Structure 1
Amino acid sequence: MIKIVLHKVFSITLALLVLFSTVSFTIEKHFCGDVLVDVAVFTEADKCGMEALEMLQSKSCCKDEVKVVKGQDELNVSSFDELKLQKQQFLAAFIYTYITGFSGLSKKTVTHKDYSPPNLVYDIQVLDQVFLI
């Protein structure tokens, strides 16, 4: 039971690891002066409303920081045709034997399933005084 649970937990962990290592996203921050106004992931951060004032003044009090977290782009995905001939033969033989190996097993018949032992008239061990030590 614990082996099945550990197998499922390990499989889910590896799937999530592959998923999160390939996802790219951006974190955008908007500062007005030294005050953090908004932080946004996947979208644009909300502005503080000082854009009209920035047009009149030459210097800006607001700044935007954008941090891009890049995921992995190079995953090795190979098709069956790209494999060498020996590996193709091994893979085909393995899949064939795996599929057909378990289908031929039939249920074994138990011949003594309905057998009832004979009634004991005498207890021979007690009668002969023979006991296992």
Structure 2
Amino acid sequence: MAFVVLFSTLSFTVESHYCGNNLVDTAIFSKVKNCGMETSATTTIKKNCCKDEVEVLEGQDKLKVNTFDDLNLSEQIVLATFAYSYISLFKSLQKQTTPHLEYAPPNLTYNIHLLQETFLI
């Protein structure tokens, strides 16, 4: 939904440069590159064959913002009931107690016969 709102409010321009009937460049977020045949102050050309087209695509600038108070009573009840039932789906877990948390582990006893590899046969 946020994606739709973002692109419905986005405005941008599309610029195109034509030299004669040929499209030279099209740019959306930057300036178009020209073909180099523009008239300058020193050179006089009787007919200019280049033209620039600028198309402005304007997005929506007025968004309707509704609040909970704008809804009628039945819509408020349905929305409140839905929110309450949705939140009650998530039950918290009981706190798990570990009974041996504060006790030290017992001292380890080693089997000397296995450590020394001495066996009575």
TM-score range, shorter chain: 0.5 to 0.7
Going from structure 1 to structure 2, the CA distance change for 1:79 and 1:55 (only over 3 Å counts) comes to farther
Between structures 1 and 2, the one with greater helix share: 1
Counterpart position of 1:78: 66
Going from structure 1 to structure 2, the CA distance change for 1:54 and 1:48 (only over 3 Å counts) comes to farther
Going from structure 1 to structure 2, the CA distance change for 1:26 and 1:55 (only over 3 Å counts) comes to farther
Cα distance between partner residues in 2 of 1:53 and 1:31: 21
Counterpart position of 2:75: 87
Q: CA deviation at 1:63?
A: 0.4
**Which has more radius of gyration?**
2
Going from structure 1 to structure 2, the CA distance change for 1:32 and 1:20 (only over 3 Å counts) comes to same
**Corresponding residue to 1:35 among 12, 16, 22:** 22
Does residue 26 (structure 1) correspond to residue 13 (structure 2)? The answer is: yes
Counterpart position of 1:68: 56
Counterpart position of 2:33: 46
Identity %: 49
Going from structure 1 to structure 2, the CA distance change for 1:90 and 1:35 (only over 3 Å counts) comes to closer
Q: Number of matched residues?
A: 93
> In structure 2, what residue type is equivalent to 1:79?
T
Q: What is the Cα-based RMSD across aligned positions, in Å?
A: 3.4
Going from structure 1 to structure 2, the CA distance change for 1:104 and 1:38 (only over 3 Å counts) comes to closer
Normalised TM-score (structure 2) = 0.52
Deviates more, 1:47-56 or 1:89-98: 47-56
Q: CA deviation at 1:101?
A: 4.2
Counterpart position of 2:101: none
> In structure 2, what residue type is equivalent to 1:82?
D
Cα distance between partner residues in 1 of 2:52 and 2:15: 7
- The 8 Å contact of residues 54 and 60 in structure 1, kept in 2 or not, is answered as no
Cα distance between partner residues in 1 of 2:34 and 2:52: 9
- The 8 Å contact of residues 24 and 69 in structure 1, kept in 2 or not, is answered as yes
RCO greater where, 1 or 2, for CA within 8 Å and sep 6 or more? 2
Gaps of 5+ in 1: 1-13, 107-133
Q: CA deviation at 1:79?
A: 1.9
Cα distance between partner residues in 1 of 2:88 and 2:50: 69
Matched residue SS, 2:75: helix
